[in-house]
Amino acid sequence: MNFPAMVRVKQDFNTNSIQDLPAAVRSEIAKIKPREIIAPGNNVAITAGSRGIANIATILAEVVGELKKIGANPLIVPTMGSHGGATAEGQKRILEHYGITEAAMGAPIRSSMEVVQIGTTSDGVPVLVDQNASKADHIIVVNRIKPHTDFKGDIESGLMKMMAIGLGKQRAADHYHNVFIRLGYYHVLTTVAREIIRQCPIAFGLALVENQKDETEIIQAIPPGEIEATEQKLLVKAKALLPRIPFDPIDLLIVDQMGKDISGAGMDQNVIARTVMRFHQVPSQPKITRIFVRDFTPTTDGNATGLGNADFTTRRLVDKIDTHISYMNAITSSCPEAVRIPPYFDSDREAIETALNTVGDIPPQKARIVRILNTLKLEEMMISEAMLSEAGQLDRLSIIGSPAEMAFDAQGNLI
């Protein structure tokens, strides 16, 4: 098969990232007046989640440093539902992937899957909290605010979700995802998080918003009583900053990497506008006929959640799947279809040929093909020659290369 020539293009996202992150963290924490909340000798649990949050190790280390200035005893608590195979060791290992170690943080990491029940919502849903966090004098909730891959609401992925799913560990994640089917994601997350704010000594939340270049653009410390209202406003900003693919329709999307550090669904469903998960909601555009996923990210730990959204993949990706980790995550979230394995091939060339044979009666050289690194990094991408005319008419998009044939190595894999 003769493949179309590809050309590199670049989106101008006009971002305004924070240049001095440590100073920004210190400034925000100072606004909370932590010495009026936290006393010397207090034990303070700081949440640390599993997504690929930009600069998270730097940010958490700075929070630890500010607590030590007060004379408090900070500790890091992994807060990530069922990730890492739902084991204490697995969750600690995930944090290490992001540079969150005891040595780097200057604080102990207390990883446990044990939880305690601290209350019940008005719907009778038990409210569960990590046992180490429950014993602390204070809890600081740190997370990125972003559109959720599975549902739409005034609150999606952020501090409220971190409290409900993250602090609740695998037991809460498993139970809540089943309750979601009856009561809805938004209702369950918000009612559980409100009860945690009411019952637990939340010192403050530290909200992070990232831009289209996967950079930290906003850091905001929030008193517990203002977390929900402030998160709603920050979500509006986060949605405006979500990177997108500026082409529609697409015959074939080639994704070099998927992984839990990219999105909870491996590939952000807001970007690919696709889901095989029965209860999930996604945008209607862009229309993508076929998706070919080439490999995992290095830090996804064999978690194949979201692979079910792909049409084709490679043997090398399938060989890396950790079924225990993948099944635990998918079944806990009541989405077994998320880990379905699509047809897979020994080489990229074979997968692309097969994909292009299933997009309709379109000559391969006229197919609309987009190749991206992953759904988090969309500043640059490759497009097929058939899309050049359209690309030239798009605002804030530059053509930065010349058309060139797809390059394959000796094994038939894309270079």
Query: How far apart are the C-alpha atoms of 354 and 343, rounded to whole Å?
Result: 10
The set of residues, in sequence order, having a beta carbon less than 8 Å from that of 292 and lying 6+ positions away, is: 252, 253, 254, 255, 310, 311, 312, 313, 348, 351, 352, 355
Q: Looking at residue 279, what is its pLDDT? A: 78
- Strands 126-130 and 138-144, by their bridges, are unpaired
Token couple for 258: 């998927």
DSSP state of 119: E
User: What value does the mean pLDDT of the chain take?
Assistant: 95
What's 33-240's CATH class? alpha beta
310-345 per-position pLDDT tens digit:
999 999 999 999 999 999 999 998 899 999 999 999
Cα 310 to Cα 211, 291, 295, distances in angstroms: 26, 5, 12
Mean pLDDT over 287-309 rounds to 96
77-104 per-position pLDDT tens digit:
999 988 888 899 999 999 999 999 999 9
Q: Looking at residue 245, what is its pLDDT? A: 97
Contact yes or no for 192/163 (Cβ under 8 A): yes
Query: Percentage of residues in the chain with pLDDT exceeding 90?
Result: 90
Mean pLDDT over 261-284 rounds to 90
Q: How confident is the model at residue 401 (pLDDT cuts 50, 70, 90)?
A: confident
Entry pTM: 0.89
Q: Looking at residue 273, what is its pLDDT? A: 96
Contact yes or no for 144/157 (Cβ under 8 A): yes
14-39 per-position pLDDT tens digit:
899 999 999 999 999 999 999 999 99
46-71 per-position pLDDT tens digit:
999 877 899 999 999 999 999 999 99
Mean pLDDT over 274-300 rounds to 92
130-178 per-position pLDDT tens digit:
999 999 999 999 999 999 888 889 999 999 999 999 999 999 999 998 9
Contact yes or no for 9/378 (Cβ under 8 A): no
In terms of Cβ atoms closer than 10 Å to its own Cβ (0-12, 13-18, 19+), residue 227 is buried
Domain regions of the chain by residue span: 6-14+243-399, 33-240
